[in-house]
Amino acid sequence: MLDHLSFTAPEPKTIAGAKGDWELVIGLEVHAQVASKAKLFSGASTEFGAEPNSNVAFVDAAMPGMLPVINEFCVAQAVRTGLGLKAAINLRSAFDRKNYFYPDLPQGYQISQLYHPIVGEGEVIVDMAPGVARRVRIERIHIEQDAGKSIHDMDPNMSFVDLNRTGVALMEIVSRPDIRSPEEAAAYVVKLRQIMRYLGTCDGNMQNGNLRADVNVSICPPGAYEKYIETGDFSHLGTRCEIKNMNSMRFIQQAIDVEARRQIAIVEDGGKVVQETRLYDPDKGETRSMRSKEEAHDYRYFPDPDLLPLEIKQAWVDDIAASMPELPDEKKARFVRDMGLSEYDAGVLTADVENANFFEEVAQGRDGKQAANWVINELFGRLNKEGLNIETSPISSGQLGGVIDLIAKGDISGKIAKDLFEILWTEGGDPAQIIESRGMKQVTDLGAIEKAVDEIIAANPGQVEKAKQNPKLAGWFVGQVLKATGGKANPAAVNELVSKKLGE
Ligand code: ADP
Ligand code: MG
């Protein structure tokens, strides 16, 4: 099914140090907020931007005696995500308590799945260039609760806490250290986000913090990574540092680069990289230590006694599998195979599920290439220019389809179609009615065209003589006829008649 793709070996970013070349090794832990109306263990709303502390159930606030009740929908969303990453689904998983103190964590622990995650090994096919892809292995996906938010900048003397986020379901998606360059890391996050948006399991809004990544970076000499892949032995790799909480593709790439250079300088100087958690400061363009392994929390993980192990049935997983939508890679392959689109165009049209749906509505029952051309060049081009997107598009798929139908029927030329597009954009309306009421319909009435051709020929005897010597000059007559008919004469018919008449 993916035979339209060629899979490439990783192309590691190589950085030349003072003493030799170094390669990058990167593994990502992506935290994706589960798209769900209610939280993981309570019925409180997950609505973004609500009045602080208005979406807090007693259990989210850790009131004494309150017990968590698992939200089946969130579990289904994690399973759906796992299936979308071609991953193993674990029919038995379990929740653990990760204990730590923080003001925005009233329970004093986060419920997570350390030992028995719900999703096991899978993969993400990362698009590197049109038609060229790489596989990044997924180690696991587990479900966990999000924490609340501390607000330190509203008052000089006090901090505030907003518990609306507390208990919202997250999926932590852990990759193997298979990513080899900053660009690949960004492409990986883009693809993961795209898949989850198709699945409807995470809306992937990075500004709202619905998708954040912890980025693990290490460096190694050329050849070392291949030894790790051969043996599975991590000791061939360098010591990694983890850069926490990245929520922009640009910063992810910058942070990887500066962190790798920092590590190279340390190692070449005879030092050792210390495994630690770091933060990226985009203003200074550097990563800073947040906590080292020695001062790492002892989370005192233990199975949550309030929650039974989570057992799901294969039949339930099968039901979810049966309701899976077509995923981006499959959709893209279909566009290339069945509609004859280029790999590049298919990539543009499938990048976002809303765009892909819109395009499919336009292409339905019409020429795929022509539909792609209008959607990408005219519509997306214009939307982009005006800072709009497909949801705010003034032109609907029905209207655009209508324009294409009129071209196909020969009612309008490509040039008039662009004028019609402009009218639809600014005034709206029905394409067929507009060309009727504004007299934009192409004249295919051969009698009318012939009359116009005859008139031009009669009025320009000198040109006729010249054109008889040099057939290339026939173009001038075609131009004159089109002008005389206000661009509405069918160009093919005009061409034919002009050559015929000049030949007489
Ligand atoms: P921990 O549980 O301590 O966070 P994990 O084994 O879960 O450790 O690894 C966390 C992330 O770090 C994973 O995404 C993994 O791929 C990545 N990782 C592990 N070793 C390395 C390394 N040497 N260089 C870069 N990334 C690594
Ligand atoms: Mg981890």
Which domains are delineated in the chain?
A: 6-210 (no CATH), 325-437 (no CATH), 446-503 (1.10.10.410)
Cα angle value 59/61/63 (rounded, 5°): 65
Task: Look up residue 67 and give its two tokens.
Answer: 């017990």
The rounded Å distance from CA 237 to ligand 1 centre is: 11
CA atoms within a 13 Å half-sphere pointing along the CA-CB vector of 425 = 15
Residue spans of beta strands (DSSP E) within 61-210 = 92-93, 96-99, 109-112, 122-129, 132-145, 149-151, 160-162, 169-175
Tokens of 384: 């982009």
Q: Which ligand has the nearest atom to the CA of 232?
A: 1
Work out whether the CA dihedral 159, 164, 167, 173 comes out positive or negative.
Answer: negative
* Tokens of residue 503, six digits: 């030949």
d(CA 216, ligand 1 centre) in Å: 6
Written as six digits, the tokens of 104 are 């925005």
Own/partner contacts of 384-392, CB < 8 Å, gap of 24 or more, are 389/354, 390/352, 390/354, 390/355, 390/358, 391/354
> Does any ligand 1 atom lie closer than 6 A to the CB of residue 28?
yes
Identify the CA nearest to 34 among candidates 60, 71, 3: 71
Give tens-digit pLDDT for 132-165.
899 999 999 999 999 999 999 999 999 999 999 9
**Residue 295 pLDDT more than 70?**
no
| Rounded alpha-carbon distances, angstroms, from residue 198 to 74, 119, 195, 459 | 16, 19, 5, 62
How many angstroms separate the alpha carbon of residue 239 from the centre of ligand 2?
Answer: 15
Candidates 24, 123, 138, 174: which one to mutate for ligand 1, based on the most atoms within 8 Å of Cβ?
A: 174
291 pLDDT band, cuts 50/70/90, is confident
Q: CA-to-CA distance for 498 and 494, rounded, in angstroms?
A: 6
Nearest residue (by CA) to ligand 1, atom 2, is: 114
Q: How many CB atoms lie under 10 A from the CB of residue 161?
A: 16
Q: How does pLDDT run across 98-115, given as a tens digit for each residue? A: 999 989 999 999 999 999
Cβ(59)–Cβ(167) below 8 Å: yes
- Decide: 179 in ligand 1 pocket, CB within 6 A: no
Contact 220, 36 (CB under 8 A): no
Q: What pTM was estimated for this model as a whole?
A: 0.88
Separate counts of helices (H) and strands (E) for the chain: 17, 17
Instruction: Decide whether any atom of ligand 1 lies within 6 Å of the 240 Cβ.
Output: yes
Decide if 77 contacts 34 (C-beta within 8 A).
Answer: yes
Q: Evaluate whether 493 touches 485 at the Cβ level (below 8 Å).
A: no
Give tens-digit pLDDT for 11-44.
889 999 998 999 999 999 999 999 999 999 999 9
Output the CA angle 281-283-286, nearest 5 degrees. Answer: 40
The answer to whether the CB of 328 is under 6 A from ligand 1 is no
Model confidence pLDDT, tens digit, residues 338-389: 999 999 999 999 999 999 999 999 999 999 999 999 999 999 999 999 999 9
